[in-house]
Amino acid sequence: MPDKIKFTIDGKDCYAEPGQTIYEAAKANGVFIPVLCHYEGLKPVGSCRICSVRANGRWMTSCTQPVTNGMVIENATPEVEAYRKAIIEMLFVEGNHFCPTCEKSGNCELQALAYRYQIMVPQFPYLFPKREIEAFPGFLLEHNRCIQCQRCVRAIQTEDGQKIFALKNRSKDLRINVDLKLAARMTEKEVQKAMDICPVGAILKKEVGFRIPIGKRKYDQKPIGSEVEENK
Amino acid sequence: MSKPVIATASLAGCFGCHMSFLDIDERILELIELVEFDKSPIDDLKKFTRPVDIGLIEGGCCNAENVEVLRYFRENCRILVSVGECAIMGGLPAMRNLIPLKECLEEAYLNSPTVAPEDRLIPNDEELPLLLNRVYPCHEIVKIDYFLPGCPPSADLIWEALMALIHSQPLKLDYPLIKYD
Amino acid sequence: MDPIRKILQKYKRDRTRLIDILKDIQESEGSITQQAIELVAKHLKISRAEIEGVITFYHFLSDRPLGKYAVYLNNSITSEMAGRQKVAEALEKETGCKFGQTSEDNLVSLFETSCVGMNDQEPAALINGVVFTSLNEEKVRKIVAGMKRGLAAQEMVEEYGDGANGHELVRAMVKNNIRKAGAVIFDEFTPGQAIAQALNKTPEGVIEEIKKANLLGRGGAGFPTGLKWELCRQEKSDQHYVVCNADEGEPGTFKDRVILTERPQMVFEGMAIAGYAVGAHLGILYLRHEYTYLKKYFEYLLQKMREEGILGKNILGRGFDFDIEIKSGAGAYVCGEESALIESAEGKRGEPRDRPPFPVQKGYLDKPTTVNNVETLAASARIMLRGSSWFRTLGTSVSAGTKVLSISGDCQRPGIYEVEFGITVRELLEMAGAQDTLAVQVGGPSGNCISESGFGRKICYSDLATGGSFIIFNRRRDLFAVVRNFLDFFIEESCGWCVPCRAGNVLLKKKFEKIVAGLGTAQDLAELEAWGKIIKSMSRCGLGQTSPNPVLTTLTNFRELYESRINKKADFIPEFDLGQAVMDACQLTGRKFKEESENAR
Ligand SMILES: Cc1cc2nc3c(=O)[nH]c(=O)nc-3n(C[C@H](O)[C@H](O)[C@H](O)COP(=O)(O)O)c2cc1C
Ligand code: SF4
Ligand code: SF4
Ligand code: SF4
Ligand code: FES
Ligand code: FES
C-alpha cells in the first residue's frame, strides 16, 4: 500500500487515505472517537471539542485535523477520556437538560455520550440559565437544550446560500438565531432534516415527538459508537 | 456482625423513585434478609432510631424543610445516595429554576385563571415550609457519596447499587442501567 | 431611509464591508434598526439572521437605540486601580442613568468595555468614539454638563496630547508617555528610505535579510517573521495579502497605539516591504475600533505617501504596486487572533478559524496572507535601513532587537519603554519607579503573573515572552481582585464558539469565587487547577488556551494565597446558605425564618 498513510491510535497500527481527518481515519479502522458538532457531509467546525485527541503529544480535534504519516494518537487514554467527559458535563450544566421531559431522550447524542461515559452526576454545578423556547411556523427551537454545535447552521440554508440558522451574541450568551422570513418558507422536508440533524432535542418539528417507545430508541440498548467498534 | 441499616426519604420528588425501589419485586424478600430499615416512608418511622449505614434520598430541595431533612440524614447516615434525577439535578421541580420565585407564586396563586378572585393569596401559613429561591440538587447542600440517575432509576440499577454497597463491592454497570429518563 | 441607501451605494455590494456599512448606519441613525437590517440584507443578499449575528457579536454595534452620547467606560484592572468605581458612580449620578442602560431622555447610554489601550492614563472612556483619559469625578461633571448643553464629544476635548495627538486630524487628549526611546522603533525615521532599500533587493533577498535578523513576531506568539513571509510567498495564488494587526486588545498593552501615533509611516512602509516580500499588492491595516480617532490622520498620510510615490502604483518607479486599506473592528478582543481578524476583515463575526489551513495558506478571502503585528512591521522597516547584523547586536542571541513595552499599574512613570530584549523585570521596575511591588503581570491576562522570586527573570522569548503588556501591582493590592477582573475579561471576550472556553470559564470563575469566599476545600482547589488545565488543553484558539492563566499562574506563583483561603480539614463545604435561599419567600409571604424547626425531625 504505497499511498496509504500509516499512523497509530493507542498503539494500534492504522492506515488512512491522504486527506482523511483523524476522525474519519479512526472510524475506517474501527476506532470510535466521539463527535457532537461533526456530521458527515458538513464542513467541520471544531466547536464541541469532544473529538479531541492527543496527536504527537498535542491536543487536536480529530474532526478538523488531517492525519499525517507516522502520527501517534492517544485516544482512549484515561486523560483524554476524562477531558472529554468534562466537555459533556459542561454541556449538561450550561443548558437546561430535563431529559425526562425531552422528546429526543433515548435518541439524543449528548445523552448517549453521557451514558457511554457513565456520567452519574456532572462534576460542575448546574447553572440553570434562563433560556427561551421560540416557536416558528413549522418547528420549535428549544434553546434550553441547544449545544451551539452549528449543525443546523451548516446544513439548512436557502438555495442561494443564505443562512436560515445563524449564530447570535457571543460568549456565554451565544445562541442560535433563526431568520423569521426564511424559516417561514422552509418545507416540511427541510424542517424534518433540521430536526434529524440536531444532535439534541433543540429543533422540534411541531406535532411529533415521543413516537418511539422506551426500549426501542436508538441508544436504549447499545452505546453510541458501538456501530463503529463492531466494524473492526 | 449486625445487618446494615437503610433509611430513605422523599424530598422534592414524586415518590417515583420509591416506587421504583419497590419494583425490585421478589428481590425485596432477599433484601429484607440482608438489611434493616430505619427512618423511611416505607416503614413510616419518623425519626432515626440508630446510626444508619445507607441513606437513600429521593428528590431535590425546594423548601427549608427539605434542607433540614437532608441535613438530618447526612448527620445520621454513613453513606448518602442521591437517587433519581430530582435528587441529582432538581428534576422536573427544577424547571421552576428558570423563572423567579416571585413570578412562579404570582402565577400560581394570584394571576392564574383558575384562582377564584377571593382566593388570591400567596400562602403564608406559618406551618408551611418556606420555599427556596430555586430547587437545589442535594449535593449542593450536603456531601453526597453516590448518585443513581434516572427518572426514576430502574429497579435493577437500585438493586445493583444496594448490593454493591451492602457487600462493599465496586458497582458494575451494564450499559442499559444508566438512563436519565 | 435615504442616508442608508447612500451608505449602501458607497460600499457597493461588497460583503466584506458589512461591518463598515453597519458602523456607518449606526453613526447616521443612532442604531441599526430592523428596517435597516432588512435593507442591508436585500442589498447584500444575505439573511437578516446573519446580519443580526454580526451586530450582536461586536460590542460597539447595537440594534437597540442608543443615547445621543454613548459612553463606554473601560473596566480593565488598571482602570479599576486608578479609581474607575468613583468615575462610574459619578457618571451614573450625573446622568441619572445606570450602566447597561440608556437614560430616559435618550441623552446618554452607559456601558462598560474591555481595555481601550490607555492603561497609562486611566480611567479612560470612549464617548461617541472620542477618547477621554484620566477621568475623575470633576471631569465627569464637566463632561455631562457639556452633554446637557449639546456639545459634540470632540468639543469637550480641551487639551491635546503630545506629538501627533495634537495633529489637526487627530486632536486627541491621549498622551504618548514615551519614557524610553530605543534604536529600532523610536529612533528617527525618514519616510521612503526603508522601502527603497527593500526594492534594491529581490523579494527573496528581503526575506533572507529578515531571517538573518532573527526577527520574531512582536504580537505575542513570537513566530519567525522571515519564515512566515517565506511560507506565504511560496503559496501559489493569484493574490497575496498583508495584514497589519493593530487590534491591540490585550489588557495592559498600548504600545501599538503609540507606535502608530508617532511612527505610522514606518509601519506602512513595513507593510509595503512585507507586500514586496510575499508578492502582495494590497495591505490591510486592521485598526481596532478604539483607535479609529487616528483613522483620518492615517488616510491623510497614506495619500501623502501615494503622492510621494512611496505607496500605490509603481512605487519609486520600480514597478512594484502596493496599496493600503484601513479596516476596523467594532469591539472584540478575539479579533486580535489572526484568523478571527481575517474573518472580521471580511465583514463577518470575528470567530477564529480551524487550522490547518493557516493564514499563510488560506487567509484573507482564502488567499495566502501574512498577518503581522504593528511593531513587527515597523521593525522590518528598520532592518531594511540598518541591516540584520546591526539588528542582532541588540537584545539576546535568541531574541534579537528591542521590545516596546507598555508599563502600567503601580509605578511613578507608566508609559512606553523601548528596551533591548534580555532586560530583567527588576530593572524595568526600577526604570518605571515601582515600589513595594507584589506582582507583575507580564503579557497581560493571557500571560504570567509573577512574584518577587521571578523579578530576576528576563523579558525575551526564551524566558518571559510578552506582546508588550507589563502591569505592576504593589503590596496593597488584592491579587484576587486582579484575577477576578481577568477572568471576567475572558468570559466577556470569549467568542463562544467552543465549549471549554464558553462554558468552562464561567465554571472556573464560580469555583474561584467559592474559594475566595472561604468556602473552598482542598478538593475545590484541586478542581480549580484541573478545570483550568481542561480549558487550556481543549479550547480552540489562543484565547481559550490562555484564559485560565490568571488562575493557573497565580496558583503557581502565589499558591499560599489560595492555601490560606481554603479549609484544609473540611472535606465538603456547601456554598448553599439556607437563610439566603429563603429570603425571597420571606419577602413574598411576610414571614420570618427560624432555622431548624423541630417538625422536620
Ligand atoms: C486572543 C488573541 C488576541 C490576540 N491579539 C493580538 C493583537 O491584538 N495584536 C497582535 O499583533 N497579535 C495578537 N494576537 C496574536 C496574533 O494571532 C498573531 O500571532 C500575530 O498578529 C502575528 O503577528 P506577529 O508574528 O508579527 O507577532 C492575538 C492572539 C490571540 C489568541
Ligand atoms: S437534549 Fe438530550 S440531554 Fe438534553 S434534555 Fe433532551 S435528551 Fe436530555
Ligand atoms: S439547534 Fe440543534 S443543531 Fe442547531 S446548534 Fe443547537 S443543538 Fe446544534
Ligand atoms: S477558545 Fe474561546 S475565543 Fe477561541 S474559538 Fe473557542 S470560544 Fe472562541
Ligand atoms: S466533533 Fe470535533 S469538535 Fe465537535
Ligand atoms: S422523584 Fe425520582 S426522579 Fe424525580
Residues B150-168: what's their mean pLDDT? 95
Cα radius of gyration rounded to whole Å, chain C = 25
Which ranges in C464-516 belong to alpha helices (H)? 479-493, 499, 505-516
Q: Does ligand 2 come within 6 angstroms of the Cβ of A26?
A: no
- The answer to whether A40 and A21 are in contact (CB under 8 A) is no
If one counts the domains in chain B, the total is: 1
For the four alpha carbons of A8, A9, A15 and A21, in that order, the dihedral sign comes to: negative
pLDDT number for residue C415: 98
Tell me how far CA of residue C102 lies from CA of C55, C96, C331, in angstroms: 18, 9, 19
For the four alpha carbons of C9, C14, C17 and C22, in that order, the dihedral sign comes to: positive
Neighbours of chain B (3+ CB pairs under 8 A): A, C
CA distance A200 to A197: 9
Residue B31 buriedness (CB in 10 A; 0-12 / 13-18 / 19+): middle
Q: Is the pLDDT of residue C595 over 80?
A: no
Is the domain of C302 the same as that of C420? no
Give the tens place of pLDDT for each residue, A132-189: 999 999 999 999 999 999 999 999 999 999 999 999 999 999 999 999 999 999 999 9
pLDDT number for residue A210: 72
Q: Is the pLDDT of residue C601 over 70?
A: no
> Ligand 6: distance of its center to the CA of C578 in Å?
23
* Ligand with the closest atom to the CA of A202: 3
| Cell matching residue C470 | 507589563
Is the domain of C149 the same as that of C185? no
* Ligand with the closest atom to the CA of A88: 2
Element (H, E) at C408: strand C402-409
Q: State the best of C15, C32, C47 to mutate against chain A, taking most chain A CBs within 10 Å.
A: C47
Is the domain of C287 the same as that of C194? yes
Q: Is the pLDDT of residue C597 over 80?
A: no
For the CA atoms of C170, C176, C182, C184, what is the dihedral angle to 10 degrees? -30
pLDDT number for residue C600: 47
Secondary structure letter of residue A53 according to DSSP: E
Give the tens place of pLDDT for each residue, C327-349: 999 999 999 999 999 999 999 99
pLDDT number for residue C1: 56
Give the tens place of pLDDT for each residue, A100-139: 999 999 999 999 999 999 999 999 999 999 999 999 999 9
User: Which residues of A are less than 8 Å from B148 in CB distance?
Assistant: 120
Q: Is the pLDDT of residue C599 over 50?
A: no
| Phi and psi torsions of A55, nearest 5° | -110, 120
For the four alpha carbons of C128, C133, C135 and C139, in that order, the dihedral sign comes to: negative
CA distance A177 to A168: 6
Tell me which amino acid residue B115 is: V
Mean pLDDT of chain A: 95
Best mutation site among A89, A108, A131, A210 for ligand 2 pocket (most ligand atoms within 8 Å of CB): A108
- CB nearest A98 (choices: B92, B144, B148): B92
For the CA atoms of C429, C430, C435, C436, what is the dihedral angle to 10 degrees? 60
B145 part of a folded domain: yes
Is the domain of C137 the same as that of C79? yes
Is the domain of C220 the same as that of C245? yes
pLDDT number for residue A142: 98
Tell me how far CA of residue C178 lies from CA of B46, C161, C255, C548, C570, in angstroms: 77, 12, 9, 32, 52
User: Which residues of B are less than 8 Å from C581 in CB distance?
Assistant: 64, 67, 132-134, 136
Is the domain of C19 the same as that of C150? no
A95: closest CA of chain B, how far (Å): 11
Tell me which amino acid residue C570 is: A
| Cell matching residue C327 | 479596516
The Cα angle at residue A8 between residues A6 and A10, in degrees rounded to 5: 170
Is the domain of C30 the same as that of C109? no
Q: C133: domain range?
A: 69-158
CA distance C135 to C125: 8
Tell me which amino acid residue C20 is: D
The Cα angle at residue B162 between residues B159 and B165, in degrees rounded to 5: 150
Secondary structure letter of residue A180 according to DSSP: H
> Ligand 3: distance of its center to the CA of A146 in Å?
5
Which ranges in chain A belong to alpha helices (H)? 22-28, 78-94, 109-116, 151-155, 180-184, 188-197, 226-229
CA distance C411 to C394: 27
Is the domain of C185 the same as that of C236? yes
C192 part of a folded domain: yes
Whose C-alpha lies nearest to ligand 2, atom 3? A111
Q: What is the pTM of this model?
A: 0.97
Q: Is the pLDDT of residue C41 over 80?
A: yes
CA distance A105 to B150: 12
Residue C502 to residue A94, Cβ atoms within 8 A: yes
Tell me which amino acid residue C449 is: C
Pick the CATH number of A5-75 from 3.60.15.10, 1.10.287.180, 3.40.640.10, 3.10.20.740: 3.10.20.740
Give the tens place of pLDDT for each residue, A15-49: 999 999 999 999 999 999 999 999 999 999 999 99
> Ligand 5: distance of its center to the CA of A68 in Å?
19
A130 touches B: beta carbon within 8 Å = yes
B38 part of a folded domain: yes
In this structure, the strands spanning C282-287 and C320-328 are parallel
C369 part of a folded domain: yes
Give the tens place of pLDDT for each residue, C249-258: 999 999 999 9
Which chain B residue has the Cα nearest residue C570? B143
Which chain C residue has the Cα nearest residue B75? C601
User: Which residues of A are less than 8 Å from B95 in CB distance?
Assistant: 96, 98, 101
Give the tens place of pLDDT for each residue, C116-158: 999 999 999 999 999 999 999 999 999 999 999 999 999 999 9
Residues A75-92: what's their mean pLDDT? 98
| Phi and psi torsions of A123, nearest 5° | -75, -10
If one counts the domains in chain C, the total is: 4
CATH number at residue C190: 3.40.50.11540
Residues C470-490: what's their mean pLDDT? 98
pLDDT number for residue C402: 98
B164 part of a folded domain: yes
CATH number at residue B34: 3.40.50.700
CA distance B28 to C337: 62
pLDDT number for residue A206: 85
Neighbours of chain A (3+ CB pairs under 8 A): B, C
| Cell matching residue C562 | 489560595
Among all chains, which residue has been given the C-alpha cell 414524586? Answer: B14
Which chain A residue has the Cα nearest residue B83? A120
In sequence order, the 6+-apart residues with CB closer than 8 A to the CB of C406 are: C119, C120, C252, C253, C254, C255, C415, C416, C468, C469, C470
For the CA atoms of C536, C541, C542, C544, what is the dihedral angle to 10 degrees? -40
In this structure, the strands spanning B131-136 and C69-74 are unpaired
Is the domain of C252 the same as that of C114? no
> Is A140 strand, coil or helix?
strand
Tell me which amino acid residue C468 is: G
Q: B84: domain range?
A: 5-97+133-177
Best mutation site among A27, A36, A39, A224 for ligand 5 pocket (most ligand atoms within 8 Å of CB): A36
In sequence order, the 6+-apart residues with CB closer than 8 A to the CB of B61 are: B11, B12, B67, B70, B132, B135, B136, B138, B141
User: Which residues sit opposite A133 in a β-bridge?
Assistant: A142
Q: Is the pLDDT of residue B147 over 90?
A: yes
Q: Is the pLDDT of residue C416 over 70?
A: yes
Residue A125 to residue C56, Cβ atoms within 8 A: no
Q: Is the pLDDT of residue C596 over 80?
A: no
In sequence order, the 6+-apart residues with CB closer than 8 A to the CB of C216 are: C222, C223, C224, C225, C399, C400, C461
pLDDT class of C464 with cuts at 50, 70, 90:
very high
Residues lining ligand 3, Cβ inside 6 A: A 146-152, 176, 198-200, 202-203
User: Which residues of A are less than 8 Å from B180 in CB distance?
Assistant: 97, 99-100, 105, 111, 114
Residue ending a domain, among C477, C503, C527, is C477
Q: Is the pLDDT of residue A1 over 70?
A: no
Q: Is the pLDDT of residue B115 over 90?
A: no
Residue A172 to residue C506, Cβ atoms within 8 A: yes
In sequence order, the 6+-apart residues with CB closer than 8 A to the CB of C257 are: C117, C118, C174, C248, C291
B120 part of a folded domain: no
pLDDT number for residue A2: 56
- CB nearest C584 (choices: B101, B123, B142): B101
Percent residues over pLDDT 90 in chain B: 83
Which chain A residue has the Cα nearest residue C510? A125
User: Which residues of C are less than 8 Å from B136 in CB distance?
Assistant: 576, 581
Mean pLDDT of chain C: 96
In sequence order, the 6+-apart residues with CB closer than 8 A to the CB of C560 are: none
- The answer to whether C587 and B122 are in contact (CB under 8 A) is no
- The answer to whether C345 and C244 are in contact (CB under 8 A) is no
CATH number at residue C440: 3.10.20.600
Tell me which amino acid residue C430 is: E
pLDDT number for residue C598: 46
Q: Does ligand 2 come within 6 angstroms of the Cβ of A149?
A: no
